[in-house]
A and B are shown apart, each in its own frame.
Chain A
Amino acid sequence: MKENPQMIRLTYREAVREAIREALRKDDRVFLMGEDVGRYGGCFAVSKGLLQEFGPERIRDTPLSESAFVGAGIGAAMGGMRPIVEIMTVNFSLLAADQILNNAATILHMSGGQFNIPLVIRMATGGGRQVAAQHSHSLEGWYAHIPGIKVLTPATLEDARGMLWTALEDPDPVLIFENSNLYNMEGQLPADAGPVDIHRARVRRPGSDVTIITYSASLFKALDAAEILAREGIDAEVIDLRTLRPLDQETFLASVTKTHRAVIVDEGWRSGSISAEIAARIMEGAFYELDAPVERICSAEVPMPYAKHLEQAALPQTETIVATIKRMMHS
Chain B
Amino acid sequence: MSPETIIKPTNTETIPSQRIVPISREHALHLLYQMIRIRRFEAKSAELYGAMKIRGFLHLYDGEEAVAVGVMEALRPEDAVVATYREHGHALARGIPAGAIMAEMYGKQEGCSRGRGGSMHLFDAKTRFYGGNAIVGGGLPLAVGLALADKMQGKRRVTCCFFGDGAVAEGEFHESMNLAALWQLPVLFICENNLYAMGTALQLSQSITDLAKKAAGYAVAAEAVDGMDVLAVEVAAKKAVEIVRAGEGPYFLECRTYRFRGHSAFDTELYRTKAEVEEWKKRDPIKTFIEYLKNQGLVSEMDLNELERKVADEIKEAVDFAEAGTWEPVEDLTRFVYSERREV
- Residues of chain A whose beta carbon lies under 8 Å from any beta carbon of chain B: 31, 57, 62-63, 65, 67-81, 83, 98-99, 102-103, 107-116, 118, 147-148, 150, 169-172
Contact = CB atoms under 8 A, between A and B. Distances in A.
Interface stretch (B32-40, B118-126, B225-233): B118-126
Nearest 7 CB-CB pairs, A to B? Answer: A75-B145, A71-B141, A79-B149, A112-B114, A68-B175, A111-B123, A72-B145
**Residue of B121, B146, B171 with most chain A CB atoms under a 10 A cut-off:** B146
A103 B146 CA distance: 14
A62 B176 CA distance: 11
B116 A112 contact: yes
A71 B140 contact: yes
Interface stretch (B47-55, B130-138, B262-270, B286-294): B130-138
Contacts of A114: 113, 123-125
B179 A63 contact: yes
Interface string B152-175: 110000010000000000011001
Nearest to B157: A79
Interface of B: 80, 109, 111-117, 121, 123-125, 130-133, 135, 138, 140-150, 152-153, 159, 171-172, 175-176, 178-179, 182, 335-344
A74 B141 contact: yes
B182 A71 contact: no
Contacts of A112: 109, 111-117, 123, 336
Contacts of B179: 62-63, 65, 68-69, 72
Given A67-B171, A68-B175, A75 B147 contact: yes
A68 B172 contact: yes
Contacts of A78: 130, 142, 145-146, 149
Contacts of B111: 112
A170 B337 contact: no
Contact of B152 (A57, A65, A113, A171): A57
A78 B82 CA distance: 12
Nearest to A107: B131
Contacts of B341: 171
Contacts of A107: 123, 130-131
A113 B335 contact: yes
Contact of A75 (B117, B144, B175): B144
B342 A81 contact: no
Nearest to A150: B338
Nearest to A109: B336
B275 to A, nearest CB: 38
Contacts of A102: 135, 138
